[in-house]
A and B are shown apart, each in its own frame.
Chain A
Amino acid sequence: MVGFTDDSVLESFRKMVLIRALEEAICREYANRNIRGPVHLSIGQEAMAVGVSTIARDDDVAVSTHRDHAHYLAKGGSLSACIDELYGLETGCSRGFGGSMHMFSRQVNFLGASAVLPGSMPISVGLGLACKLNGTDAICVGYTGDGASDEGSFYEALNLASVLGSHVLFVCENNRLSTNTSIIDRQAQPDLVSKARAFGLDSEEADGVDVFNVAAAAASLAEKARSGHPAMLVLTGDRLCSHVGPISSVPPLDFAGLIDVSKDTATRDPIARCLHLITVTRPWLLDECRHLLLAVLDLIAAEFNRADSAFRQRNTLMGIAAPPPPKSHVV
């Protein structure tokens, strides 16, 4: 937590809680069949997006993957426009054309997301090259994952970024799963840092459960990218939810539960870890954390009510019946 002010600690905590609360609400609402389409949740991986966002600047651009809610919100994307997009409303951030997997906001330089591995990687190289050609030290934060690193184009992108000196910081979220297949079963040599270094990138691995640790590791690599030396940050952590669909494997957000150290959730859950670190080093912030959490839950509830009612109005207007429930959430 070195270098973090009290305010920035609280801001990181709030952003992680906002992402978690959004996705828990998706889990609850999904059964009502009003959010239609595959959803890939980031529960367990919030610290990765939020930690990186604390060192990224407004003029930095970002692109993401199918698992993009956290990246979009961490970059500053509008919560209302995100929820509207999930409901397929024209007020959505992608006007209803993108859905969960294709969030977009020109306003905050979140330039989209690809749902085909590793599609956003070469695009990140181009965005980073544009930053360089513009003569600025802005960078592209290119989110990707270990699943994408099975693909050939992943390595084309690393090489091209190095050869051209693109201003790109790849952030590879290593949850060690592609859908449900372990990286051990997919890769003969699963050390992603060595692979990035082999192509001339600067690369470090960091514990992706600790938001402050993520920020510290991202900061030094981002500086490299700003000077035309592309880098890859590998963040290790667990996806505490299903690959796709509304299934979380952690208890719903609850302040008392999160700070109960006897449960030992802090090893894997980034929000519990953050609260644990605050308890140990800045206990005077705990009360404010509790307030922030409750306020976020209220905000999410209000936003879902608003979007849900807009959705129902539109549904009635167009006379579209709700589709039958699918056989499985894993689609």
Chain B
Amino acid sequence: MVRQNSAQMDYSEAMAHAVGQAMEADEQVFVYGEGINDPGAYLGSTAGLSARFGTRRCFDVPNCEDALVGLGVGTALMGYRPLLVSLRVDFLMLAMNQIINHAARWPAMTGYQTAVPLTIRALIGKSWGQAAQHSGSLYSMFANVPGLEVVLPSSPLEGAGLVLSALCSPLTTLVIEERGIFDAQQRVPRLIEPIPFGQANTVRSGRDITLVAVSSMVRFAAEVADRVAADGVEAEVIDLRTVRPLDEGTIRESVRRTGSVAVFDIGWPSFGLGAEVSRVILESGGLRRPLLNIHRKDEHTPSSVFLEYGHYPIVEDVVAQVKRLLA
């Protein structure tokens, strides 16, 4: 039998494949979360893990987010590499005491004599009428906190590579996954390479404007780049991959060349990615045009498909905004 060296996978399949690879390589890795051994297997992203590694290393748990993160902190302090799967980022608000006061701060409070190698995957339920409490982005709250790492994958391959780095990291890492990245298919190699944190990926080069994007907005920005290319505009698209650590060098280097920047965020504008990228650029200079900040509306998400239309950015509008900026 010839084993394929790669296979076509969606985000969930790539994630389950990568986590399986990590569990195979390191006995200390285990996975837990509410309902992860359900037939649904968290959109399929934990499928097959309990069958392959046993329920000792892939187990279902009660609904108690704060205690679940504490469980991760405790096992991580003993050398385990727990992966907690949370069905929504919004549910992590119940665990903020453990995430911020404990997971993020324990290494510092012990004089950096401890590590907390905990990984938390959490979903942003964008669209499909999920309303305010199931669609929050909320990643920038975590990105504010020293001691945490915040990862925003943009594709199956990115998610797979980044989760491997998360599972090797000595710090608590939040892998925040927007629903919009789950359906794309990519060829995923049998042996996945970890993607290091703090190294942005320039997915498309250009000299006229820098499009800085995260998560599902990477594909969105690439689409905008395609559309403005028809008018002769060469847009550079940067996938930040991780917002903490943030690859400030790649942003500055690109903006020095293009002099223009648009930020493609998945969250609200206040104290968000646009503000952070502005800081990075203003600390070094090079911006020749006003910064364009693309983001969801500064309000809580409505459920109705009609009301939701316009809550998230629309490609046509953004294409027009970019053209106006460069005119």
Same complex origin of A and B: yes
Binding site for B on A (CB under 8 A): 61, 63, 92-98, 102, 104, 106, 111-112, 114, 116, 119, 121-131, 133-134, 140, 152-153, 156-157, 159-160, 163-164
A159 and B74 in contact, given A95-B111, A104-B111, A119-B101 (Cβ under 8 angstroms): no
Find chain B residues with CB under 8 A from A63 CB. Answer: 74
Contact A163–B61 (Cβ < 8 Å)? yes
Q: How far is the CB of B116 from chain A (nearest CB, A)?
A: 10
B95 to chain A, nearest CB (A): 9
Q: Are B74 and A125 neighbours in the complex by a CB distance under 8 Å?
A: yes
Interchain residue pairs with CB less than 8 A apart (25)? A61-B78, A94-B111, A97-B111, A97-B112, A98-B109, A102-B110, A112-B106, A112-B109, A112-B110, A114-B101, A119-B97, A121-B67, A122-B67, A123-B73, A126-B72, A126-B76, A127-B77, A129-B75, A131-B78, A153-B64, A153-B97, A153-B98, A156-B66, A159-B62, A164-B71
The CA of A157 and the CA of B64, in the complex, are separated in Å by: 8
State in angstroms the CA–CA spacing of A121 and B102 once bound together.
11
For the complex, what is the distance from the CA of A138 to the CA of B171, rounded to whole Å? 26
Q: Is B108 an interface residue (CB 8 A)?
A: yes
Query: Which chain A residues border B82 with CB–CB below 8 Å?
Result: 126
Q: Closest CB of chain B to A41's CB: distance in Å? A: 20
Once bound together, how far apart are the Cα atoms of A98 and B64, in whole Å? 28
Closest chain A residue to B27, Cβ basis: A133
Nearest-CB residue, chain B, relative to A140: B74
| A127 and B101 form a contact (CB under 8 A) | no
Given contacts A98-B110, A104-B111, A116-B97, A160 and B73 within 8 Å (CB-CB): no
A127: B residues at CB distance < 8 A: 74-75, 77-78
Give the complex CA separation of A325 and B78 in angstroms: 41
> What is the chain A residue whose CB lies nearest that of B66?
A153
Set of chain A residues within 8 Å of B74, measured between Cβ atoms: 63, 122-130, 140
B80 touches A130 (CB 8 A): yes
Does B273 have its Cβ within 8 Å of any Cβ on chain A? no
Specify the chain A residue showing the minimal Cβ separation from B79.
Answer: A130
Indicate if the CB atoms of A133 and B114 lie closer than 8 Å: no
- In contact, B75 and A126 (Cβ under 8 angstroms): yes
Please name the residue on chain B nearest to A104 by beta carbon.
B110
Q: Complex formed: what's the CA distance from A121 to B64 in Å?
A: 13
Q: Which of chain A's residues have a CB closer than 8 A to the CB of B113? A: 94-95, 104, 106
Complex interface bits, B27-46 against A, C-beta within 8 A gives 1, otherwise 0: 00010000000000000000
Residues of B within 8 A of A123 (CB): 70-71, 73-74, 77, 98, 102
* A126 and B111 form a contact (CB under 8 A): no
The minimal Cβ–Cβ distance linking B98 to chain A, given in whole angstroms, is 6
Cβ distance A264 to chain B, nearest Cβ, rounded Å: 41
Known: A94-B111, A97-B110, A133-B80. A126 touches B62 (CB 8 A): no
A126–B106 Cα gap in the complex (Å)?
14
Q: Which 3 A-B pairs have the closest CB atoms?
A: A126-B74, A122-B70, A95-B111
Tell me the nearest residue of chain A to B77, going by C-beta. Answer: A111
Is B75 a contact partner of A97 (Cβ separation < 8 A)?
no
Closest to A125 in B: B71
Q: How many angstroms from the CA of A123 to the CA of B98 in the assembled complex?
A: 9
- Per the bound structure, the CA–CA distance linking A152 and B95 in Å amounts to 11
Contacting residues, chain A, for B211 (C-beta < 8 A): none
Contacts of B108 in A (CB 8 A): 97
A153 contacts which of B61, B67, B106 (Cβ < 8 Å)? B67
A111-B115 Cα distance, complex, nearest whole Å: 11
Extra contacts besides A97-B109, A114-B102, A133-B30 (6): CB < 8 Å: A97-B110, A97-B111, A104-B110, A123-B71, A127-B78, A130-B78
Report how far A234 CA is from B69 CA in the complex, Å: 25
Task: Tell me whether A133 and B70 are in contact (CB under 8 A).
Answer: no
Task: Find chain A residues with CB under 8 A from B79 CB.
Answer: 130
What B residues does A93 contact at CB under 8 A?
111
A97–B101 CA distance with the chains assembled, in angstroms:
15
Q: How far is the CA of A93 from the CA of B77 in the complex (A)?
A: 17
Closest chain-A Cβ to B32's Cβ sits at a distance in Å of 9
Q: Is the Cβ of B70 less than 8 Å from the Cβ of A95? A: no
> When the two chains form their complex, are residues A95 and B68 in contact, meaning their CB atoms are under 8 A apart?
no
Do A119 and B62 form a contact, CB below 8 Å, given A104-B113, A127-B77?
no
Among candidates A61, A98, A133, A156, residue contacting B111 with C-beta atoms closer than 8 Å: A98
Are the CB atoms of A159 and B111 closer together than 8 Å? no
Across the interface, name the chain B residue whose C-beta is closest to A122: B70
Cβ of B56 within 8 Å of any chain A Cβ, yes or no, is yes
Distance of A165 from chain B, by nearest CB (Å): 11
Interface-centre pick from B67, B102, B114 (highest chain A CB count, 10 A): B67
Q: In the complex the two chains form, is B56's CB within 8 Å of A160's CB?
A: no
Residue among B62, B78, B97, B113 having the largest count of chain A Cβ atoms under 10 Å: B78
Contacts of B62 in A (CB 8 A): 156, 159-160, 163
B73 to chain A, nearest CB (A): 5
Give every chain A residue within 8 A of B69 (Cβ-Cβ).
122
Q: Across the two chains, which residue of chain A brings its CB closest to B28? A: A133
A93 CA to B114 CA, complexed, in Å? 12
B71 touches A126 (CB 8 A): yes
Contacts of B80 in A (CB 8 A): 130, 133
Could you say which residues of chain B place their CB within 8 Å of the CB of A153? 64, 66-67, 70, 97-98
Bound together, the chains give a CA A171 to CA B72 distance in angstroms of: 21
Instruction: Report B-chain residues with C-beta under 8 Å of the C-beta of A126.
Output: 70-78, 82
A153–B79 Cα distance when bound, in Å, is 24
Cα–Cα distance between A163 and B76 once the two chains are bound (Å): 19
Closest CB of chain B to A185's CB: distance in Å? 24
Please indicate the chain B residues that have their CB under 8 angstroms from the CB of A97 in the complex: 108-112
Nearest A residue to B76 by beta-carbon distance?
Answer: A126
Across-interface contacts of B66 in A (CB, < 8 A): 122, 152-153, 156
Supposing A119-B98, A126-B71, A126-B76 touch, asked if A159 and B64 sit within 8 A by C-beta, the answer is yes
Q: Is the CB of A95 within 8 A of B98?
A: no
Q: Are A119 and B102 in contact (CB under 8 A)?
A: yes
Q: Are B75 and A92 in touch, CB under 8 angstroms?
A: no
**Nearest CB of chain A from residue B244's CB, rounded to whole Å:** 21
In the complex, which residues of chain B have a beta carbon less than 8 angstroms from the beta carbon of A102?
109-110
